Amino acid sequence: MNVFNLTKRRVIRACIAIVLSAVFGLAETASIFAHAKIVRVLPIDGSTVANPPREIELFFTEPIVPDFSSIKLIDSAGRTVPVSPLKIDANDRRHVTAQIAGSAPLASGLYNLSWVVLAADGHYTRDYSVFGVGDAKPGAGAGAQPQADAPPAPVEIALRIITYGSLALITGGVSALFWLLRGNTGAAASRRAWSITAISIVVFIVVGIAWLFWQVNVLTSSVAGAANPADLVFQLLGQTQWGVIWLAREAIAVCLLVILLANKSLRRGFLAAAFGLTVGLCIAQGAIGHAAGISPDTVLAIGSSSAHIFAAGLWIGALAIMVAVTPVMQSQQSTQPGEAAKSWSAFSNQALIGAGLIGATGLYNTARQVQTIDALVGTLYGQALLVKLLCVILVAGLGFVNSLRLHPTSALSKFFLGPRNRTFKSVHSSRAIVIESLLSILIFTSTSIVTSAAPAHGPEFAAPPANTSPTQIAQDMLIGFSVKPNLPGQNLFVVDATSTRRPEPAPVGRIILRIQSKESDLGVVTVDAAKIDKTRFQAGGTYMSLSGRWQVDVIVRRPGLEDVVSTFDWIMPSASLRPVVISNTAWEPDLTLLSMLFAVIVAALLAVRFVWSVRQPRSV
């Protein structure tokens, strides 16, 4: 019995098996992985505030869904301090606030602030901070380093592999029916492509439902006082961006399946409608991923992600369909001579379009999701992306060789392969099919890890902020100020003070530093700097204990003269900044420009190829 002519009962059994596998995976899944990273929390983590705060503020890297997010404030005795529900900033959905309830202000002491928030892409962040009120000071290290991103749950990776794999087959199957196999309409090859596409849609729908169950499982285990699972399903679908897009995606898939089942005769009008729904399905899938959390230019980011998914289907998905139907086409050579060669020739053009789209959109997506080169090589997201890139390059290389074999008379084929004649049967050997299949599996696996892991951007990947005006002129004094290593905690403060007048009116007798935070109420610290040579003074200590903006007044005292005061606005970078390995310079402008250049080059190649194909004599 032909594997592509499955009975309804066997299809149902396959779908049930997929759902049961996902359900068993849910039972074993307990990890929460963060995508919306904390940028800043007020009161500042590790700080002491003199006046009790009345409000908590959290700033994240991605938009937050407040209805599925919560915070908890606990004092040093373990008692929970009541706070209001989170309120989102209407102008910036990445900024949320909560009021500290009760008429009495917070008592002096240490407080632990923890939060669990749902990002717009359906992923959770769990973290905490510590601050003191009054005379209570958090201990060393209380200003915690960000928690390392937990690895993606295996069940999510599996669901994503099946989702992206089935979506690629749907896109490739519909494009094959609409374009590649149009000369085989009603033939066994088209019927096999139709069967694969229909089964892929069923799998896509069932896995989408399993994904919803998994998401509800995450909600139940993450949100304090969560409602029962049935209520959570309705809340998730009706109150979150993820839920609305999930409904749209499933509805599109159902409509696509209905059109396909009603169009077994493969009429062009129905296939055109199916092609349009397939594009909509790719857009919905793109809108449910990381691109939804990118700001600004969110629409452009979603469009690029959707085009990337669609291009993978045009290329890799259609390749799988063509490999599956080629034996049928070859068996019909006596009745339909040359049809296999025509279909593969059409696929080579489609594959070039798909590969070009993947290259251009991949560069743009990388620019928006990976902040630096160090973020690319030093994170799970970036490493999975590199594996995907390598596999895509290898598949593209195989495709290039196959394209040369498909056109043995072309100048490129003769240049690379020599003047030997190549027949169509040598295009896809069993070895090539195995290699391409393994590479395709690796591509979808790495894609699933990329879309599951936290994007490689955030405050820890930023380059240390530059401090302006390290040297200033005040009256007749040239005053330089520097801090090393310029990280929160122990630092060495160095001042160079030289008079510009000759002879100088009086030698520098004393340098006084007046240090205060501009973001937290830590008071003013006054320090005498020790003289180490004629014009240089230094002081050491933990006077800048937190990251953020500071003000340093350098007071130069000379006998018989008025004090000279020079004020430096200083930025203390976060201690969580990752050490530089290769480069921590943001590369988004360069990669974005490169993606545009790549798109122009591919468009030019397509135009040249089109003109060349038009001028060539038609032959089978």
pLDDT tens per residue, range 425-449? 444 556 666 777 788 888 888 988 8
**Calpha distance 579→585 (Å, rounded):** 12
Q: Residue range 492-517: average pLDDT? A: 91
Residue 152 reports pLDDT greater than 80: no
Q: Residue range 158-167: average pLDDT? A: 93
Q: Residue range 505-510: average pLDDT? A: 91
**Calpha distance 245→169 (Å, rounded):** 21
Residue 18 reports pLDDT greater than 60: no
Nearest Cα residue to 31 out of 461, 454, 459: 454
Higher pLDDT, 537 or 579: 537
pLDDT tens for residues 250-259? 999 999 999 9
Nearest Cα residue to 602 out of 414, 280, 363: 363
Q: Are 129 and 45 in contact (CB under 8 A)?
A: yes
Q: Which of 50-64, 342-356, 402-416, 545-559 is the least confident region?
A: 402-416
Residue type (1 letter), 429: S
Can you give the pLDDT at residue 51? Answer: 84
Residue 564: φ, ψ to 5°: -105, 125
Nearest Cα residue to 84 out of 95, 71, 75: 71
Tokens (6 digits) for 362: 């991949």
Residue 222 reports pLDDT greater than 70: no
Residue 39 reports pLDDT greater than 70: yes
Nearest Cα residue to 336 out of 322, 326, 323: 326
Mean pLDDT, the chain, rounded, equals 79
Residue 475 reports pLDDT greater than 50: yes
Q: Which of 14-23, 214-223, 333-342, 524-533 is the least confident region?
A: 14-23
**Helix count and strand count (H, E) for the chain:** 14, 17
- Write b or e for each residue in 169-186: b if 16 or more Cβ atoms lie within 10 A of its Cβ, otherwise e: bbbbbbbbbbbbbbbbee
Give 62's pLDDT tier (boundaries 50, 70, 90).
confident
Q: Are 494 and 481 in contact (CB under 8 A)?
A: yes
Residue 140 reports pLDDT greater than 80: no
Question: Is the pTM above the cut of 0.95?
Answer: no
Q: Residue range 561-579: average pLDDT? A: 83
Element spanning 367, H or E? helix 339-369
* Domains of the chain, each with CATH number or no CATH: 8-30+151-460+602-615 (no CATH), 38-133 (2.60.40.1220), 471-572 (2.60.40.1930)
Can you give the pLDDT at residue 264? Answer: 78
pLDDT tens for residues 204-215? 999 999 988 888
Give 513's pLDDT tier (boundaries 50, 70, 90).
very high
Q: Residue range 294-313: average pLDDT? A: 88
